[in-house]
Amino acid sequence: MKRKIIYLALALLLIVFLSCSKTETPSTPSPSAPVVSDIVHWTQVTVTTPFTAADWNTALVYNNKMWLIGGRNSSGNTIAEVWSSTNGADWTLVTGNAAFGPRFRHSSVVYNNKMWVIGGTPLDGYSADCLNDVWYSTNGADWILATGNAEFSPRYSFSTFNFNNKMWVIGGVDSSHSMYNDVWSSSDGVTWTQVTSSAPFSGRNNYSGLVFNGYMWVLAGYDGYSNTTYNGCSYDGEANDVWRSSNGVDWELVTGNAGFSPRTAQTSFVVDGKIFIGMGYDDCVSSNLNDDLWYSSDGKFWTLVTWNLTGTPRMRAKALVYNGKVWLLGGSTCANPCPTSEVWYAD
């Protein structure tokens, strides 16, 4: 009996030892998703066939290609060009005269296996008429008008989301400088339903609109009247608040004063289970442009990745996650039209 008790005690000790010494294999990110440590290091691409240097264009990933649509060139003229690339170095002009016409400050999204172009303005200058038309294409060359007069009012500098099997249009500004905080949705691009006329965040334009962790997110941007203080400097109109919603009606203020400085016309993307935001126009830095990059896993607490992403501060640059890399496309290196056709990546 005593021997059996000893054997039982030894067996229990062995079980305890094995359970305590067990090690868990850390999860490994997918090779197609860069991780934060990689995103510190950016490489400039030697572009052999460049796209037209333009700002206030839109960028998409569709059918295993990167796409750039519309924008304003270095002469201040709006364009109706559509470019595509599979490697970031060689860009193909798919059409130089898309049916939606020259425009910039529009919005684009991939939805229902199509590329969509929505709203914007055809002419440079704040007094220009803006648009509320909706176009789509499956090849970038042929564009079909879904509606020339959507239910939402004409606007520019807003974001469009693909979320919960619908397209969503949120915020923006019109030709009279009125800032919007309304929310609209559509399942077909033809008929649009107003979800709310006044979300709790301030009306704004040039904000970051993202889908992340089952929410639509609205970050930063320009509302014209926010008086935010950051590191002792007062900002006039730029914001650094962060909002999210799972239905477009109910919005949660995640933080009213994020770790990054107030800004507008910034760059943002989602990768590695985190939101990234950086660059953009900033009242309180040299040349009024940033070259930084920040990330957050919850939208509330933010960590600096780098103050010096490319060496040239810029605004209105586009970011895409494609083929295992984060790509940074173009942007403007001054507040006036100073567009660049630079391409950078992090992997």
Handedness of CA 211, 215, 221, 224 (dihedral sign): positive
Q: What is the chain's alpha carbon radius of gyration, rounded to the nearest angstrom? A: 23
Q: Residues 268, 208, 229, CA angle at the centre, nearest 5°?
A: 100
The pLDDT tens digits for 202-238 are 999 999 999 999 999 999 999 998 888 999 999 999 9
For residue 7, what pLDDT is reported? 47
> How does DSSP classify residue 214?
T
Report the pLDDT value the prediction gives residue 17, as an integer from 0 to 100: 38
- Is the pLDDT assigned to residue 11 strictly greater than 90? no
How many angstroms separate the CA atoms of 101 and 250, rounded? Answer: 36
Q: Which helix (H) or strand (E) holds 13?
A: helix 2-21
Report which of 313, 326, 171 is spatially closest to residue 241, judged by C-alpha positions. 171
pLDDT in tens, 276-327: 999 999 999 988 999 999 999 999 999 999 999 999 999 999 999 999 999 9
Domains of the chain: 32-346 (2.120.10.80)
pLDDT given for residue 126 in this prediction: 56
pLDDT at residue 226 in the model = 82
Q: Which residues contact 169 (CB under 8 A, 6 or more apart)?
A: 107, 118, 119, 150, 152, 158, 159, 160, 183, 184, 185, 186, 192
The model's pLDDT over 23-53, given as tens digits with 9 standing for 90+, comes to: 333 333 333 457 676 787 899 999 999 999 9
pTM above 0.85, yes or no: yes
Q: Which residue has the tokens 């999860």?
A: 27
Tokens of 331: 């942007």
CA–CA gap between residue 164 and residue 30 (Å, rounded)? 24
